[in-house]
Chain A
Amino acid sequence: MREVRFKINGEEKVVTVESRTLLVHMIREQLSMTGTHIGCDTSSCGACTILIDGKSAKSCTLLAVQANGKEIITVEGLATAEGLHPIQEGFKENHGLHCGFCTPGMMLRAIELLEKNPDPTEEEIRWGISGNLCRCTGYNNIVKAIQYAGAKMRGAELPSTEPEFV
């Protein structure tokens, strides 16, 4: 057993884990933060995506011990006292989720994408979320949600959230 010290959603934590404990299990089971999900066993689906030192990461493919000294953000850490994070607002306003299972991972991935590329094209967004599977939405509205969040984050005019359902 090893002790891991890290910061998660702004809070310092010390947790004792086995060397083999996967980071996603530490977050879900030991910290009881269940917003981070598990959708596969081959690092393919991205439902477990979190931010580690600002980088989007598949927490099923990292050991908990690797989090030592790091700063982690999960979906639980996005909203603040002032309200929702722009990416959360984007997903809600644009119907970017159905069952909600892939949503936390999708949003955390999108945050890093937008930090590196504040005004991405549709193509860049699609490639940028290619490590996250969604089975419900067909991705159209996820693309719109990310575009909306990007506009909000860079202070641009917000795109329409009306469905283009001719």
Chain B
Amino acid sequence: MIKCKTSKEIGGMGHSIKRKEDARFIQGKGNYVDDVKLPGMLHMDIVRSPYAYAKIKSIDASKALEIPGVVAVVTGKDLEKYNLHWMPTLMSDTQMVLPTDTVMYQAQEVAAVIATDRYIARDGKEAVVVEYEPMTPVMDPYKSLEPDAPVLRPDKEGKTDNHIWHWEAGDKDATEKVFNAADVVVEQDMYIPRIHVASIETCGCVANYNKVDNHLTMYMTTQAPHAIRTVIALVAGHVGLTEEKVRVISPDIGGGFGGKVPVYPGYVIAIAVSFLTGVPIKWIEDRSENLQADSFARDYHIKVAMAGTKDGKIQATRFKVLADHGYTDASANPSKFPTGLFSIGTGSYDYNNAFMEADAVYTNKPPGGVAYRCSFRVTEAVHAIERITDVFATKVGKDPAQLRFENFIKKEDFPWKSPTGWEYDSGDYHAGLKKAMDVLDYDALRVEQAEKRKRGELMGIGISTFTEIVGAGPSKDFDILGIKMFDSAEIRVHPTGKAIARFGTKSQGQGHETTYAQIVAEELGIPAANIQIEEGDTDTAPYGLGTYASRSTPTAGAAAAMAARKLRDKARKIAAYLLEVSEEDLEWEPGKFSVKGAPEKSKTIQEIVFASYTNHPPGMEAGFEATHYYDPPNLTFPSGAYICVVDIDNETFEIKVRRFVAIDDCGNIINPMIVQGQVHGGLTQGIAPAMYEELIYDDQGNILNGTFMDYLVPTAVESPNWETGHTITPSPHHPIGAKGVGESPTVGAPPAIANAIVDALSVYGVEHMDIPITPYKVWKKLKEMGKI
């Protein structure tokens, strides 16, 4: 059981209180962007390229404009007049809003049709005739780097190849020395394929520019409303949309997972058209547009190697990455981190030498590089380290659990400096793995497996013991477009002792309206039920960088605690005044100050708040409000021990996840019900890329599975019954000792599943398989190996 400091009535940390936001969602009263309807609103649909790489010879909109109700057709040439046809990406690359001459990927925006309703807009889209001159696209990132590859971005001055950047971490020479001297070296090529977050709500917006006030209100599906406001001002400030003239409202969001961090061309076109016409413009993507054009995740080709002793001590790792970014680098990373936090890839193991390098390359694929419920490229890194650890265990002939126990960083060695420069804050990896093994009875499973193998049955057990890195981040290193990655909380307590708190983050299902209230309740003793939480309106909320990368609890959650502590300090002063004692004579318990040794003399927080409006001490500011901008001193390092058991049909090679146990350590837990819910959801988004999802293109750049018919999002049938649990190792530097959890399961699950499948197939001599591992891929692999 999790210990709670507050009563159930107060509902502070550790209570599984039911979610405050649910009432509207279960009654159909959520307010998502497609529910926003404004007077006079027009609808926008987008003409998209059927080719991956082509010159636009002409765009003929005459047929479309003949359709009654079609108001306008906007092309890149139209935007060019206002210098709005290009926009910056978060990684300081450039991206077309609408092309003026060349399309760079299939489904790229080519023109926008504005009409009185969405049906007519669609008819208009079908009627726009675009003449293309197709060119041979570059789809293979390795070929893109060859000297004879066409230069894809001649628009960038002086660009003579398709290489975007090179990145390194760790000590190359020292690592090479260890590798050269090691008893055992294992190396494996891995591909972490391109996937898509596919939140059930697609992206969209309603741009409402009011010409009279020169003011834009932008309702949009964004995880980071404040950052978007600043980006809009940076892109459109030159036409008069300066930051005070822009209000971004992020209403209820139907799932984000990173896909709603970037600025997509559709948003910008909608703003431009609304700006030019003074009419509200609604743009809502179709699912296929969402899958085919919005930011992808992953697409990392990794060569990973591990060196160690013959008795299984890990000594060094080496990672070489080729990152396929599509036609522009539109990754959603902190500015100084082109590979995100990939350098966490040294893992949960105690060794001193690692070297990592990555190169990024342009191809004729959609741009992106977003999270898919992951903290900036951590999933790719964790997959590589957890997979190669198993390859190494096999090579040295050790059980993968035993090998992990022997290599874990010990609890007492934290804070621990990683070979790539991170300082892991805390962890107890031994306890997590032991707990997971106990829940499953690991030894019994290995006995069962041995018996099954004798009968020719395929059963596998796979482990992943990962370290996450979340909560970006400390301002010395972390910024987005120069803005430091703090986050904020503002708490206002009303005279009657009820409160409203506002944040710079934005929930997309994480339950902030409940958990933030619990943090404030924990600190002030005001019941969580009496604390209203607001996010997502840049006119009212304090500035913050938004919700992604499991950063809300580490940053805004900390800000909530710090702001509440400022208020508690004020409360102490007021209580001392009211009780006519010195501050030192008071002691705090959740909800009241009482006089030491005279507990009957006390003031509740509600009485104190009331006094702050009615009877505040002379010389003190009236009211009961506080704001805090929290700049974290370090990131937080959640961890987990996951074990997966699979059974594989030995003829059809259908894979059944029989059991999956996830023990997570996210530090102190605010709401166990919500933490567990986050883990469940993340695990299903872990099995998805491990066994089902991948965006597939042919060599002409056509996407082959751009709908939910073929992009295989798991249903309740594919998703097994998840077994979850926790250990608690508080973060020493976080005000409430919490770490963040939303993404851990998505990061940790794929290697556990892949390791289990490879373990099952090891009877055939299989050492590695790339995800997603499907029955067909298994059959093909065994066929190629001559085993079937």
Report how far A125 CA is from B721 CA in the complex, Å: 12
Closest Cβ–Cβ distance, residue A64 to chain B (whole Å):
12
Q: Which of B97-105, B157-165, B197-205, B488-496 contacts A (4 or more CB under 8 A)?
A: B197-205
| Contact string against A for B residues 12-52, beta-carbon threshold 8 Å, 1 for contact and 0 otherwise | 00001011011111111111101101000000000000000
Do residues B26 and A135 form an inter-chain contact, with CB atoms below 8 A?
no
Q: Mark B85-98, 1 if CB is under 8 A from A, else 0.
A: 00000000000000
Partner of A95 from the list B34, B199, B673, B721 (CB cut-off 8 Å) is: B673
A135→B680 contact, CB < 8 A:
no
Would you call B725 and A91 a contact (CB within 8 A)?
no
Main secondary structure of the interface of B (DSSP, over half): loop
Q: Closest approach, in angstroms, between the C-beta of A145 and any C-beta of chain B?
A: 10
In the bound complex, how far is the Cα of B657 from the Cα of A126, in angstroms?
15
Q: Mark A80-102, 1 if CB is under 8 A from B, else 0.
A: 00001000100111010111111
Distance (Å) between the CB of B313 and the closest chain A CB? 32
**Chain B residues, Cβ within 8 Å of A102:** 200, 254
Enumerate 19 A-B pairs (CB-CB under 8 Å) in ascending A order: A33-B28, A34-B32, A37-B32, A41-B287, A44-B708, A76-B28, A92-B19, A92-B22, A99-B255, A104-B28, A133-B708, A135-B198, A136-B255, A136-B681, A137-B681, A138-B683, A139-B719, A163-B676, A166-B726
Among B30, B677, B681, B716, contact of A100 (Cβ-Cβ < 8 Å): B30
- The verdict on A35 contacting B119 (CB below 8 Å), with A41-B287, A92-B18, A100-B25 known, is no
Instruction: Indicate if B682 sits at the interface (CB-CB under 8 A).
Output: yes
Residue of B439, B672, B681, B708 touching A45 (CB-CB under 8 A): B708
Within 8 A of A (CB), among B498-551: 508-511
Contacts of B268 in A (CB 8 A): none
Contacts of A79 in B (CB 8 A): 27
Check B199–A99 contact: CB distance below 8 A. yes
Once bound together, how far apart are the Cα atoms of A107 and B28, in whole Å?
A: 11
Rounded to whole Å, the gap between the CB of A20 and the closest CB of chain B is 7
Q: Which B residues touch A162, using CB under 8 A? A: 16
Residues of chain A lying within 8 A (CB to CB) of residue B726: 165-166
Chain A contact-residue range equals 35 or more
Say whether, besides A37-B201, A92-B19, A166-B439, A129 and B716 are in contact (CB < 8 Å): yes
Task: Report Cα–Cα, A33/B252, bound state, in Å.
Answer: 16
A33-B28, A78-B27, A104-B28 are contacts. A99–B682 as well, Cβ < 8 Å? no
Chain B residue at smallest Cβ distance from A90: B26
Q: With A41-B286, A127-B717 in contact, is A101–B255 under 8 Å at CB?
A: yes
Interface residues of A in 101-141 (CB under 8 A from B): 101-104, 107, 122, 125-127, 129-141
Structural contact, B22 and A32, CB atoms closer than 8 A: no
Q: In the assembled complex, which residues on chain A have CB atoms less than 8 Å from the CB atom of B511?
A: 98
What chain A residues lie within 8 Å of B24 (beta carbons)?
100
Is B715 an interface residue when CB atoms closer than 8 A count as contact?
A: yes
Taking A32-B37, A142-B716 as contacts, is the C-beta distance between A97 and B18 under 8 angstroms? no
In the complex, the answer to whether A140 meets B722 with C-beta atoms within 8 Å is: yes
Whether A135 pairs with B27 at a CB distance below 8 angstroms is: no
Question: Do B672 and A143 touch (CB < 8 A)?
Answer: no
